[in-house]
Amino acid sequence: GAVVSQHPSRVICKSGTSVKIECRSLDFQATTMFWYRQFPKQSLMLMATSNEGSKATYEQGVEKDKFLINHASLTLSTLTVTSAHPEDSSFYICSARDAGALETQYFGPGTRLLVL
Amino acid sequence: GENVEQHPSTLSVQEGDSAVIKCTYSDSASNYFPWYKQELGKGPQLIIDIRSNVGEKKDQRIAVTLNKTAKHFSLHITETQPEDSAVYFCAASDGAGNMLTFGGGTRLMVKP
């Protein structure tokens, strides 16, 4: 149980385009999902907290107009990187918190984004 | 806010030896401490967690200890195997559904 999927697993795009990443909780309901960014050999940096049915809460320094988050259902959250630039290249990871076990976060496999 | 420090940043052990990774946290309100294992190119995988109402938890070769007074917690891996090689992250939260604060990670290398 407690499986979180992400799609796509990797994406290469041209500078200026937008990229959408999906995060799904497959076998549990997630009232809250989190989006992280991870640079090589570094820890996870929380970008935003996504609550089902309400606006996402962004961490300081994260542009909400650049990283659009939608959490339309209890099993799906999406992150859209708008007008991507090479500096947005990174490993994006989502996690989902089981509504029945509020403390535990389960992570997706990550999405490798490369912006050319 | 919470600050989590993790040591060492890299750890190399011989297969069969034990490995210990230590973390300290700053917020006395934190009461949930998970550990994650991340293999190259993959997302973190929860391997064990501990809540503040216990001092130790064990799951086969993995154990976690918590000292709330000193605000530190540790991961112990016994009889290490090459497949234990990965990056390990500790984290802390105050429960109540709040966010996790992660340590900087430890790269564990188990030599066959």
In chain B, the residue whose alpha carbon lies closest to the alpha carbon of A5 is B43
Q: Which of A73, A63, A66, A67 is nearest to A32 (CA)?
A: A73
The CA-based angle A63-A68-A73, given to 5 degrees, is 140
**Distance in Å, alpha carbon of B90 to nearest chain A alpha carbon:** 10
**Distance in Å, alpha carbon of A110 to nearest chain B alpha carbon:** 5
**With contacts defined as CB-CB under 8 Å, which chain A residues touch B1?**
none
Query: Between chains, do B51 and A103 touch, taking CB under 8 Å as contact?
Result: yes
A16 touches chain B (CB under 8 A): no
Contacting residues for B67 by C-beta, under 8 A, at least 6 apart: B55, B73
A80 forms beta bridges with A20, A68
B36 touches chain A (CB under 8 A): yes
pLDDT exceeds 80 at position A3: yes
**With contacts defined as CB-CB under 8 Å, which chain B residues touch A32?**
97
Residue A18 is predicted with a pLDDT of 97
Query: Between chains, do A110 and B43 touch, taking CB under 8 Å as contact?
Result: yes
The mean predicted confidence, pLDDT, of chain A is: 92
Tell which wins on pLDDT, A65 or B99. Answer: A65
Residue B93 carries which DSSP code?
B
pLDDT tens across the length of chain B (112 residues) = 889 999 999 999 999 999 999 999 999 999 999 999 999 999 999 999 998 888 999 999 999 999 999 999 999 999 999 999 999 999 999 766 678 999 999 999 999 9
Decide: B89 and B6 in contact? Cβ < 8 Å. Answer: yes
Residue A102 is predicted with a pLDDT of 66
Residue B99 carries which DSSP code?
P
Mean pLDDT of all residues in A10-18: 96
Residue B50 is predicted with a pLDDT of 93
* Closest Cβ opposite residue B42 in set A43, A102, A110: A110
